[in-house]
Amino acid sequence: MSRARRWYRWQRRESTELFALWGVAAATYGVGDVLTTIVLVYLIPGLGEANPFVHWGLETFGIPGLVGLKLGVFGDRAPRELARHPTPRPDHVLFPPVMTCVGLGAIMVNLGLIV
């Protein structure tokens, strides 16, 4: 196998891993946290959103406000990070796992309050 072919395979693998990390972050922080927050706020009487900024978004704009705030977090970072995907550096790969951990933590707290 030629050197150029090995380089291309390596770069392609790195970019695929980066896209997978962002996909997991979107699933946990974007989808999981939003769904559990909606259930928590609208279906469980007496419970509400603890984050004042998200609470304001829910009070002012409803569910679209919550989704807009979550998209704002991803809309700020994801395009810049994914635009650099041919040669991701370690600091480019740090944000998706952090968002995944934040999303998993929020899901666990929300599920604990729901149950």
Q: How many CB atoms lie within 10 A of CB 94?
A: 12
Distances from the Cα of 108 to the Cα of 7, 17, 36, 115, angstroms: 41, 25, 9, 10
Tens of pLDDT along the chain (115 residues)?
677 666 666 666 667 777 888 889 999 988 999 999 999 999 988 888 888 988 899 999 999 999 998 888 877 777 776 666 556 566 667 888 888 999 999 999 999 998 8
